[in-house]
Chains A and B, each alone.
Chain A
Amino acid sequence: MNSANSIKFLYAAYIATWLIHALYLGSLVRRYGRLRQQMKDLRK
């Protein structure tokens, strides 16, 4: 198998893995911020 081609797929898989996790963690941060805001509004 072509080594350069092999490396390309390897990096694609590792980047995709961390991209999926980063997107999910980002969505959790956004959800947390929204809930904190709702909680603040309810406390007023």
Chain B
Amino acid sequence: MKRLFPILAVLTALLLTYALYQALVVAPTERTMGDVQRIFYYHVPSAWTAFLLFFVNLVASVVYLVWRNPKADALAVVAAEVGVIFCTVVLVTGPIWARPVWGIWWTWDVRLTTTLVLWLIYVSYLVLRRFSDSSQTPKLAAVLAIFGALDVPLVYFSIWFFRTQHPQPVIGGGGSIDPRMLHVLLINWLAFSCFAVLVCWWRYRLERLQREVEEAQALESLLGPGGVPSQSARVKAPLGRGPQ
């Protein structure tokens, strides 16, 4: 596993470079918007990746609520955090595209507003995880995650059900797309998905380490220095036996 991570990291870096080349050089220039349309190759895959991560967060939260599995709880935190990063990219690249195309940075359009609400819900989730010491925190966070996930279909289908300024969906919606553009879009999504998996993997290891440290610190504070039966008992505490 230790060797696999750097190999996958190099492959993902190569794939991201190839995807960037495709987006900047190979993809045809859109007739009305010009080069600014190429923002779409980062904006849309980031949104899809964020949705996917929020879905992982939902599934992991449900698993935690049903089986009280600490690994599922750790995965839920990781997916929410990385999902928020991708959602931040969506909220930053969207206005940068909107300024030259619509003439404004932001409008309280239903798609934009629901996306901002989605981001706020998951930021609240992370704040709750970070600052609450209660033993009920993982349970409360899992419930919040379920409510947060309800906003994902709202964001996605908002442009189908409401009149919005946001462009129509390019796949499965009323919009159409040049096959070469679709190809570049899918390559970028694949690259960003691989990148997200790698980041989640690393972040999961970090979460596990953090819980081990918390466990060891709790043991030490209970038993006092020198009162711990063995080094391995202090350090190799199982995942997630920390605050429940």
A residues engaging B (CB < 8 A)?
Answer: 1, 3, 5-7, 9-10, 12-14, 16-17, 20-21, 24-25, 28, 31-32, 35-36, 38-39, 42-43
Contact = CB atoms under 8 A, between A and B. Distances in A.
Interface in B192-244: 195, 199, 202-203, 206, 209-210, 212-213, 216-217, 220, 231, 234-235
Residue from B32, B34, B101, B231 whose CB has the most chain A CB atoms within 10 Å: B34
A6 B176 CA distance: 22
Contacts of B33: 1, 6
What are the 10 tightest A-B residue pairs by CB atom distance, in nearest-first order?
A13-B96, A6-B36, A13-B39, A6-B34, A13-B93, A6-B35, A42-B216, A1-B34, A35-B209, A38-B213
Contacts of B89: 16-17, 20-21
B93 A16 contact: yes
B92 interface: yes
B85 A21 contact: yes
Contacts of A39: 209, 212-213, 216, 235
Nearest to B225: A44
